[in-house]
Amino acid sequence: MARAVVVGAGLGGLAGAIALSRHGWDVTVLERRSEPDETGAGIAVWPNALRALDVLGPGPRGLGAQARAAGTVEVGGGIRTMSGRWLARTDTADLRRRQGDGVVVLRRPDLHALLRTAAPEVTTGVGVRRVDPGDAARPAVVHDDAGGEHPAELVVAADGLRSTIRAAVWPEAVPRPTGQTTFRLIAAHDLAEGGESWGNGALVGLGPLPGARTYLYAVVPTAEVPRDDHLPWLRARLAGWHDPIPSVLDAVEGPVLVHALEDLRPPRSWHHGRIALLGDAAHAMTPNLGQGAAQAFLDAVALAEEATDDPASLAAYEARRRPGAEAVARRSRRAGEVALWRSPLAVAARNALVAALPAGVAAAGLDRMLGTPDTPHQKETSS
């Protein structure tokens, strides 16, 4: 049986490990942390991600069925101004008709846990120091920081935005700051309708979680963010925004996660010798389109379908996944910049354009990004 070593047990690495073992690989998963850090906050799982999870089994609808059951389907959505005026409304019934699913929002640790349960055993507390990439004549060898050596016909670098493996082989691919910081939190608030609101150089997103809870994320320029006391600062920053944003901020449960946002300067290729990049290690993107994990799940499905013990097979994986994932990453970064515009003239023009965009055009653009149930692994885009 051909051996695969998956480096990293985040959402992408776990999906890759599940997909490869379903295709008959003998999979080892190495994770540097003693326990993967999947604390707090929610995650939006778009229909393309659900379709990829469906393929990961077990059973006909696989992990997709478990994700749908663990989350809440968004019943409303769209883009509003900070005063609450809708610029564009998502027709969620039409989205479900076209896509076969709505957007499912769940707690991130729940998504991680259901992947972990389905994945081969994860060896935690073992970081990878370096990889000899191997070639057609010899296996790759993964060297861990405890002195262990793991020969393999395939090494999956799923070690995230700051990938050790990518840094050694693709030094040109470095994280790129966006100048934006995100806040994520969960509140004891029963949300009637989700969506995103833009105004005053900031954006706020709301999504419904099971148990009458709300997932709120906010993005603001990093230069404004204080070192600590984040929640009082955020309440003051968003005072005067439309309901229910202030009430959600008054009902926070648990930690407020604060991260400076970065994406990745694309690597020149996605494979070298027997090493393949997957997930954020290949294409970390800003969260504006809610597509980072979705694209990692699509990578996992494609890699398992294309990879053989001949390293030349990895070219087919790259050809299938790279154009689409990088197009989504570019679009995501642009969306984040536009949402945080501040100049009154630019904001007025942006809002008018968003409001004037025919619903059919917006839906067609979304379907190009997500693929459809008839083109389940994403129609690649070049925008």
**Interacting residues with ligand FAD (CB under 6 A):** 7-13, 30-33, 36, 43-44, 49, 127-128, 158-161, 164, 182, 184, 259, 279-280, 287, 290-294, 296
Q: What is the DSSP string of 111-129?
A: HHHHHHHHSPPEEES--EE
Structure tokens at 241: 């925004």
Q: Is 204 exposed, middle or buried (0-12, 13-18, 19+ CB in 10 A)?
A: buried
**Complex with ligand FAD: residue 183 or 351, whichever CB lies closer:** 183
Q: By CB neighbour count within 10 A (0-12 exposed, 13-18 middle, 19+ buried), where does 152 fall?
A: buried
Task: Give 245 or 293: the residue with its C-beta nearer to ligand FAD.
Answer: 293
CA distances from 205 to 52, 93, 244, 316 (A): 24, 20, 11, 37
The least distance separating ligand FAD from the CB of residue 105, rounded to whole angstroms, comes to 8
User: Of the two residues 295 and 351, which places its CB atom closer to ligand FAD in the complex?
Assistant: 295
For ligand FAD, the closer of residues 21 and 164 by Cβ is 164
Q: Least distance to ligand FAD from the beta carbon of 79, Å?
A: 16
If the CB atoms of residues 280 and 318 are measured against ligand FAD, the closer one turns out to be: 280
Residue with Cβ nearer ligand FAD (128 or 354)? 128
* Closer residue to ligand FAD, CB minimum distance, 28 or 351: 28
Q: How far is the CB of 217 from ligand FAD (least distance, A)?
A: 6
Closest CB 245 distance from ligand FAD, rounded Å: 18
* Of 292 and 351, CB closest to ligand FAD: 292
Burial of 10 (0-12, 13-18, 19+ CB in 10 A): buried
Please give the structure tokens belonging to residue 193.
């309708």
Residue in the block written with tokens 């020969």: 151
Q: Provide Rg for the chain, Cα atoms.
A: 21
CB distance 27 to 21 below 8 Å? yes
- φ and ψ of 133, to 5 deg: -70, -15
State how beta strands 202-209 and 149-152 pair.
unpaired
Instruction: Give the shortest CB-184-to-ligand FAD separation in angstroms.
Output: 6
DSSP state of 163: -
Closest CB to ligand FAD among 286 and 351? 286
Token couple for 262: 């970065």
Report residue 85: phi and psi, to 5°. Answer: -70, 125
Where would I find the beta strands (DSSP E) of the chain?
3-7, 26-31, 42-45, 72-73, 78-81, 86-89, 104-107, 122-124, 128-132, 140-144, 149-152, 154-157, 175-187, 195-199, 202-209, 213-221, 252-264, 271-272, 275-277
- Least Cβ distance, residue 341 to ligand FAD (angstroms): 20
**At its nearest, how many Å lie between ligand FAD and the CB of residue 349?**
28
Instruction: Kindly state the tokens that stand for 249.
Output: 């901020």
| CB of residue 136 to ligand FAD, shortest distance in Å | 26
* Minimal distance, residue 325 CB to ligand FAD, in Å: 10
Give least dist CB 275 to ligand FAD, A: 13
Report the alpha-carbon distance of residue 286 to residue 296 in Å, rounded. Answer: 14
Sequence-distant (6+) residues with CB within 8 A of 378 are 48, 298, 324, 369, 370, 371
Nearer to ligand FAD, 264 or 354 (CB): 264
